[in-house]
């Protein structure tokens, strides 16, 4: 079956499972928030050197990159996506406990490896459950809800963890974060297995067997649309991943002690925007199409970096940084949605997610080192302008090479099929069809 073939066969899922998926996204983001900047703060508090902390973060990142494609293949093959999420979140909780309770080198490195591998599986598995639960037609709005609840969960727990670290210790942050696995598991168990259509969850909507027909793996690498989309996300991460880091360094020199408060606003503000805009992004993707929204999300990066060159006023910086929330809301919805569009009917939805995620992760990994070299060699302004150039390149790639991937509506698809059939009629059949229409018109005229 060719990559990108599409057949509409979507159904509304029971409402209880959808509400449970809302809370699953909330608690998963809350749990994963424990892996954020708190790891660096915790290890630094207990005497780890910057080189050692950097090694831990690198090990985690590399483990996640290596596991992306195998994790996608596994999600496509395993019937129970809930079991994968349960196992992945249990592993993440174990990693959090290791970070919190053990500070010896082998334990911390082991925790970093577990974190990287588990993290590579959880996001795609949530997208697979979403697709299996609501189907392709309802997927844009479902992904918008996922993004909203994940943003709220991350925001709430970031604030809670900040107070816990201030009042108690950074070690307690990881223990509390691991304890979130219990409400997460309860939400996961409330998603009824019968509501998650196996065929839809891997991009094979016509099949609900353990081994639906699948397109060849090489067909994914031959689909120029999928590769173009992956390149766009690679360029986006190459530009975006280091932007906040560059800005933080500028603020550290300009604002001194108050820079940490400003950086917190730079992180929290966009997350609030994501929570507000994510449902709109899902609806817009369904009505406008994917391509216009993709251009908007990508264009926010070069606009931000260009404006950052013009000012170091904290209020203006926080206002400009809100554009990052626009990118987060749009691309958070579109990443899984465009992959679902391009792999509909192939049975390779999650493998394709792994491929796109790998290239995106490579872009993020290269971003900080390349931007650091640019800033060190040519200065802060050159670093921001290089981000602007890469961001504009991502937009240009979309405009030049990326087609619209939104499938036709049922009515439009039926109309287009009828027109194609009519165009393909043999001459004799066309004459007969025209004659029948003339007879019908004459009868209507004289009746």
Q: What is the 3-state secondary structure (H, E, C) of 237-261?
A: HHHHCCHHHHHHHHHHHHHHHHHHH
Would you state the pLDDT for residue 428?
46
Q: How far apart are CA 245 and CA 372, in angstroms?
A: 9
Would you state the pLDDT for residue 434?
47
Nearest-CA neighbor of 359 among 167, 245, 213, 221? Answer: 221
Helix-then-strand count for the chain, H and E? 20, 0
Q: Which residue has the higher pLDDT, 99 or 250?
A: 99
Q: Which pLDDT tens digit goes with each residue over 22-40?
A: 999 999 999 998 887 778 7
* Mean pLDDT, the chain, integer: 84
Burial group, residue 285, by CB count within 10 angstroms (0-12, 13-18, 19+)? buried
Contact indicator for 91, 117 with CB cutoff of 8 Å: yes
Handedness of CA 29, 76, 364, 63 (dihedral sign): positive
E strand spans, 36-155: none
SS3 at position 348: coil
Would you state the pLDDT for residue 9?
41
Nearest-CA neighbor of 28 among 100, 85, 99? Answer: 85
Q: How far apart are CA 361 and CA 57, in angstroms?
A: 13
Q: How far apart are CA 344 and CA 331, in angstroms?
A: 19
146-155, 205-214, 272-281: which range is least confident on average?
205-214
**Span 109-136, average pLDDT:** 93
Would you state the pLDDT for residue 408?
83
Q: Which pLDDT tens digit goes with each residue over 268-312?
A: 889 899 999 999 999 999 999 999 999 999 999 999 999 998 988
Contact indicator for 282, 333 with CB cutoff of 8 Å: yes
Contact indicator for 409, 287 with CB cutoff of 8 Å: no
Would you state the pLDDT for residue 13?
55
Would you state the pLDDT for residue 431?
45
**Span 48-55, average pLDDT:** 81
214-406 folds as Growth Hormone; Chain: A; (1.20.1250)
If you ran DSSP here, which 8-state letter would residue 426 be given? -
Question: Where residue 249 falls among pLDDT bands split at 50, 70, 90?
Answer: low
9-13, 16-20, 249-253: which range is least confident on average?
9-13
Report the range out of 329-333, 405-409, 442-446 with the highest average pLDDT: 329-333
Would you state the pLDDT for residue 362?
93
Q: Which pLDDT tens digit goes with each residue over 384-433?
A: 999 999 999 999 999 999 999 999 865 444 444 444 444 444 444 444 54
Total-model pTM: 0.83
Nearest-CA neighbor of 214 among 115, 349, 305? Answer: 349
Domain ranges of the chain: 13-213, 214-406
Residues 6+ apart with CB under 8 A from 103: 43, 46, 48
Would you state the pLDDT for residue 132?
92
Q: How far apart are CA 85 and CA 101, in angstroms?
A: 24
SS (H, E, C) 175-199: HHHHHCHHHHHHHHHCCCHHHCCHH
**Phi-psi category of 382—alpha, beta or left, where left has phi over 0 and alpha has psi -120 to 50?**
alpha
Question: Where residue 209 falls among pLDDT bands split at 50, 70, 90?
Answer: low
Kindly indicate whether the domain formed by 13-213 is annotated with CATH number 1.20.1250.20: yes
**Span 236-243, average pLDDT:** 90
Q: How far apart are CA 333 and CA 144, in angstroms?
A: 6
Would you state the pLDDT for residue 7?
42
């Amino acid at each position: 079956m060719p990559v990108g073939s599409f057949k509409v066969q979507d159904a509304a899922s029971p409402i209880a499972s959808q509400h449970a998926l809302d809370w699953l996204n909330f608690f998963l983001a809350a749990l994963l928030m424990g892996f954020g900047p708190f790891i660096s703060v915790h290890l630094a508090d207990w005497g780890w050197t910057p080189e050692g902390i950097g090694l831990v973060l690198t090990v985690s990142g590399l483990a996640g990159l290596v596991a992306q494609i195998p994790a996608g293949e596994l999600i496509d093959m395993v019937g129970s996506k809930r079991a994968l999420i349960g196992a992945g979140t249990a592993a993440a909780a174990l990693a959090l406990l290791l970070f919190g309770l053990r500070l010896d080198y082998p334990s911390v490195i082991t925790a970093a490896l577990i974190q990287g591998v588990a993290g590579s599986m959880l996001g795609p598995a949530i997208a697979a459950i979403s697709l299996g639960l609501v189907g392709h037609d309802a997927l844009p709005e479902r992904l918008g809800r996922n993004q909203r609840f994940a943003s709220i969960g991350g925001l709430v727990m970031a604030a809670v963890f900040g107070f816990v670290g201030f009042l108690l210790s950074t070690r307690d942050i990881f223990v509390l974060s691991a304890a979130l696995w219990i409400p997460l598991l309860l939400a996961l168990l409330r998603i009824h297995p019968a509501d998650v259509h196996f065929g839809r969850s891997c991009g094979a909507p016509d099949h609900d067997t353990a081994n639906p027909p699948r397109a060849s793996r090489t067909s994914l690498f031959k689909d120029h649309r999928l590769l173009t989309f992956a390149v766009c996300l690679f360029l986006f991460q190459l530009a975006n991943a280091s932007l906040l880091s560059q800005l933080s360094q500028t603020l550290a020199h300009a604002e001194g002690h108050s820079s940490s408060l400003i950086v917190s606003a730079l992180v929290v503000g966009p997350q609030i925007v994501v929570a507000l805009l994510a449902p709109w992004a899902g609806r817009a993707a369904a009505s406008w199409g994917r391509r216009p929204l993709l251009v908007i999300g990508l264009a926010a990066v070069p606009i931000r970096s260009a404006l950052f060159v013009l000012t170091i006023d904290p209020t203006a910086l926080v206002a400009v940084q809100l554009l990052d929330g626009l990118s987060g809301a749009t691309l958070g919805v579109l990443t899984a949605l465009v992959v679902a569009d391009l792999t509909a009917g192939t049975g390779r939805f999650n493998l394709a997610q792994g491929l796109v995620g790998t290239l995106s992760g490579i872009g993020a990994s290269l971003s900080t080192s390349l931007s650091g070299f640019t800033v060190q060699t040519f200065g802060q302004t050159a670093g921001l302008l290089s981000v602007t150039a890469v961001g504009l390149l991502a937009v240009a790639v979309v405009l030049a090479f990326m087609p619209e991937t939104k499938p036709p509506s049922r009515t439009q698809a039926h109309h287009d099929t009828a027109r194609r059939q009519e165009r393909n009629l043999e001459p004799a059949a066309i004459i007969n069809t025209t004659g029948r229409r003339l007879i019908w018109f004459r009868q209507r005229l004289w009746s």
